[in-house]
Amino acid sequence: MAGRLGIKIDVDTLEGFCKGVPALLQVLGDQAVKASFFLALGPDHSGRAIFRIFRQRGFLEKMWRTRAPALYGFKTMCYGTLLPGPRIGAAAPDLVPRLAAAGHEVGLHGYDHVRWHDHLFHLPPEQVTREITLAQDAFTKYAGRRAAAFAAPGWQCSLSSRTALAAQNFLYGSDTRGTTPYFPAFGNTVTSVLEIPTTLPTLDELLGFHGCRARDFTRLVLSRLENGRPQVLTIHAEVEGGPFLGEFARLLERCRDRGVAFFRLEDWARELLREPDRLPVAQVTLKRLPGRAGRVSCQGPVEARPS
Ligand SMILES: [Zn+2]
């Protein structure tokens, strides 16, 4: 079996950045796999996510199913509520250059992850732009250059956010769930930044469903690679870089045994953008996904390109 797999690693919290990222660096290095990291470098306000219990259908059930306090730690659950939210990037400023030096792609995962995740659709466009600018400024401080890619926290994107990415010259975004790269449309407006969606479900979405365990998830990923089409898997520094690190290492091993080729999303984006006219346009719609609380931005049916 061959197949192509892009590993997208979202880093949401201080715990994920300081502990999950170094652990993942080690495992990826052992397997000689290059991945795409997306960092939220602003304040860790994870404790505020608790208010989703009152707003989002399925949040409490998901917290219980994934045993979130065990995954994220009690302290993390207090940041932004009982404890002030620490600045994530400042806690380990050498990590961003270390990731790049190891050959991984490093992009942005918002600034204040919880603010974007919970409020994007209520923020005025200038506030959306500000979140992206703050993220880019923090990244530039640690990396010495601007980031080329943005992955929206919680797969929440809007016309405002995609317009801001275009204004700030991002190469591509990875904001949605879908099947194939495309240019996102919102009603009659087609936006100009390429979108590379996450194509596979995540481990935390599947855990606990009908007794589903991590090894069942590995089997599912391997089966989805069989059709040979490139797939994008999102993992979390707090999950696969934490209690499920061993299972993630086994997934990489089994992929390598089967001849799967790993790619960085940025390299695929550059390859695709050599012929942008061949890429489809698709509407972005909000949908509920099994195992995920609330609604996420998803790729809708492919549309004809406007002439
Ligand atoms: Zn995230």
In the prediction, which pLDDT does 50 show? 58
Using pLDDT thresholds of 50, 70 and 90, give the confidence band for residue 88: confident
122 pLDDT band (50/70/90 cuts)? Answer: very high
Question: Distance, CA 155 to ligand 1 centroid (Å)?
Answer: 8
CA of 205 to the centre of ligand 1 (A): 13
Instruction: State yes or no: pLDDT of 109 exceeds 80.
Output: yes
Q: What is the mean pLDDT of the chain?
A: 90
Residue 183 CA to residue 192 CA, distance in Å, equals 6
Tell me which residue of 132, 73, 63, 108 sits closest to 294, measured CA to CA: 63
Asked if residue 265 lies in contact with residue 174, where contact means CB atoms within 8 angstroms, the answer is: yes
Compute the distance from residue 1 Cα to the ligand 1 centre, in Å: 31
Lowest mean pLDDT: which of 101-105, 162-166, 247-251, 289-293?
A: 289-293
Angle formed at CA 28 by CA 92 and CA 76, multiple of 5 degrees: 40
Looking at residue 165, its amino acid is L
Distance 82 CA to ligand 1 centre (A): 21
What's the rounded Cα separation, in Å, for the pair 245 and 242?
Answer: 6
pLDDT per position as a tens digit, 142-160: 999 999 999 999 999 999 9
Do the beta carbons of residue 295 and residue 287 sit within 8 Å?
yes
Instruction: Considering only residues 38 and 212, tell me which one the structure prediction assigns the higher pLDDT.
Output: 38
The share of the chain scoring above pLDDT 90, in percent, equals 74
Cα–Cα distance between 36 and 49 in angstroms, integer? 25
Give the Å distance between the CA of 38 and the centre of ligand 1: 8
In percent, the amount of the chain with pLDDT more than 70 equals 86
| DSSP symbol at 293 | S
**Cβ contact 40:112 at 8 Å:** yes
> For residue 229, how far is its CA from the centre of ligand 1 (angstroms)?
25
pLDDT the model gives residue 231: 98
* Residue 54 reports pLDDT greater than 60: no
Question: What is the identity of the amino acid at 256?
Answer: R
Helix or strand holding residue 275 (H, E): none
